Structure 1
Amino acid sequence: MAPRSNPSERQRRLGAELRKLRLRAGLTGEQAAAFLGADRARISNIETGRIDVSRNRLYMVLRHYDCPPGPYFDAVMAMAQENGKGWWHEFTDTIGPAGRDLAELESRSTILRTHNPLVIPGMLQTEEYAHAVLTATESEPQRADRYAEFRMARQQVLTSGSPAAYHAIIHEAALHTRVGSPEVMRKQLLRLMEVSRLSNVTVQVYPFEAGVYAAHSRSFVIFGTGVPELDTVYLEHPTNSLLLWDGAELDEYAKMFERLSELALAPVDPQSAPESHESRDSLSLIQHVMYTL
């Protein structure tokens, strides 16, 4: 089988993990190739995600690389078993590989932490709000409709049989940034309060008075799988978004998110009555903005 020219995020990540383990074990590519009875080029293709490695061979490779049994070992094996065929393949007519990679990454995550400084995060958007955001950058109405449909489908990770835990920190600026009509904004802010009723969803607002922090102006998502070594940071960019896998960078973004959470207002609790708010929290701020639209 010829090497694939455009491996998916999962395939690239699996290859990167195998390369990391090989180097940690002090083995050269030639030594790994000799163990598998293959040439050096095959090892290179495996480590860049361009070709697959069978389950039996992967098990042998992990043991040869001194990877101990445990959650990480099992998670790497599971990554190799997945075929990448999910609901997102229904959108190949419009959504490119990067978008489908994002949906697959979300589907295998158990916890998602996101910080958004200018717009409401996609996972919490109403269809009208999403459509207004997308039509601002997409000139073809039909494509914008399809993108919005895709964004709504991605939200199933919050309500599926085993929903992911979701924690969003949204800058106050996103509440004031006009997207669509005032009615669209009111419905969107109401949606924020409604979705916060889900036991797996936490919403915090980062207020203007909290001032400047290292990451307060940068949008990012941390995808957690339950195995910290396999977490991923997603940095959104208009032309070329970035995925970070390096352990030091993962730790740094986790610390930044924790600090943002400390500086943000208390999480939305839609069950509490407005008169019970002795001090300003995320819910009271969202309500204030909604009522002034």
Structure 2
Amino acid sequence: MRTSPTGRQLRLGVELRKLRERAGLTATEAGQLLGVKQNQISNTEAGRIGVSPERVRTLAHHYKCGDPALIQALSEMTSDRKRGWWEEYREILPTALLDLAEVEHHACRLRGAVTVHIPGLLQTTDHARELFRQVVPEFSPPDIEHRVSFRIKRQAVLYRDTPTPYRAVIHEAALRMQFGGRKTTRAQLQHLLDMSECDHITLKVLPFSAGGFPGSGQSIFYSHGPVPQLDTVHLDQSHGPVFLDAEAQLDMYRVLLDRLDSRALDPVRSRDAIHQVLREL
């Protein structure tokens, strides 16, 4: 039995519980259908014990799930038994950060919107290091370096053979925040320009002239799963990422991100805006 299931294992259990509850079955009744005890169903839904693809399909059949795409996606979540690179940080960093890397690794698409920070997936090493130096209470030098290396390794999803498509809206305020001084800021802005030329990255700037906008107080990141039910919202908080996956929450943040995207400059004018900030430094 697992003592500390990963975020992905927990999510699989949550989705199986949702299917069971929609079918109007208790854990005891579900166990009776499968010929197992109630605690096995409960432990599976809590991510404490593994489940095979065949068992997922059997459960979906008993739960009268008529969504083949969802059933297939849930089945595939059981087959990834390899330890991800993030596991080397399990005794070093908070579990929520490891879960974030796992979500990003498996995402089909990524999108986000930030106000005062450059998105983590687009930060340079020096920019990231300066951000971690500003944390209160202060991180020790080794803690800072662990977090910097972890953040840079997360960016591998944008560089692998089949990179993950990424769409980001960055407010002009984030472009003008000089973390680390002029030299670091210039290098960060140039990195944004370089990354914006990649076919799989869409970078849009929300200028000051756009005025007020929804979600202005949040840094929002959205990971698209293989089916919409498996999408995940992660909000960047001072204490770490917070994950949301309820249907109503997913719907709300899809609308919010769409509205932000519609108010931002197009990619060409966004690059012009970044060039302008760079020239002013």
TM-score w.r.t. the length of structure 2 is 0.94
Q: Structure 2 vs 1, CA of residues 240 and 192 (structure 1 numbering), >3 Å: closer, same or farther? A: closer
1:151 deviation in Å?
0.9
Match of 2:193 in 1: 193
Unpaired segments ≥5 residues, structure 1:
270-280
2:62 maps to amino acid? H
Match of 1:208 in 2: 208
1:84 deviation in Å?
5.5
Match of 2:162 in 1: 162
Do residues 285 (structure 1) and 273 (structure 2) align?
Answer: yes
Match of 2:127 in 1: 129
Query: Is the contact between residue 54 and residue 75 of structure 2 (CA under 8 Å) also seen in structure 1?
Result: no
Query: Is the contact between residue 13 and residue 47 of structure 2 (CA under 8 Å) also seen in structure 1?
Result: yes
Do residues 174 (structure 1) and 179 (structure 2) align?
Answer: no
1:238 deviation in Å?
1.3
Which has the higher mean CA deviation after the structures are superposed, 79-88 or 224-233?
A: 79-88
> Residues of 2 paired with 1:29 and 1:94: CA distance?
36
Query: Is the contact between residue 115 and residue 173 of structure 2 (CA under 8 Å) also seen in structure 1?
Result: yes
Candidates 100, 103, 113, aligned match of 1:102 = 100
> Residues of 2 paired with 1:219 and 1:75: CA distance?
28
1:187 maps to amino acid? A
1:225 maps to amino acid? G
1:90 deviation in Å?
2.7
> Residues of 2 paired with 1:181 and 1:31: CA distance?
62
> Residues of 2 paired with 1:85 and 1:5: CA distance?
16
Match of 2:257 in 1: 257
1:41 deviation in Å?
2.4
Match of 2:184 in 1: 184
Match of 2:239 in 1: 239
Unpaired segments ≥5 residues, structure 2:
none
- Secondary structure of the residue aligned to 1:241 is strand
1:70 maps to amino acid? P
> Residues of 2 paired with 1:197 and 1:67: CA distance?
42
Query: Is the contact between residue 114 and residue 171 of structure 2 (CA under 8 Å) also seen in structure 1?
Result: yes
Match of 1:36 in 2: 34
1:68 maps to amino acid? G
Do residues 229 (structure 1) and 229 (structure 2) align?
Answer: yes
- Secondary structure of the residue aligned to 2:57 is helix
- Secondary structure of the residue aligned to 1:95 is coil
Instruction: Report the RMSD for the aligned CA atoms in angstroms.
Output: 1.5
Do residues 114 (structure 1) and 102 (structure 2) align?
Answer: no
Query: Is the contact between residue 46 and residue 52 of structure 1 (CA under 8 Å) also seen in structure 2?
Result: yes
1:55 maps to amino acid? P
> Residues of 1 paired with 2:276 and 2:64: CA distance?
57
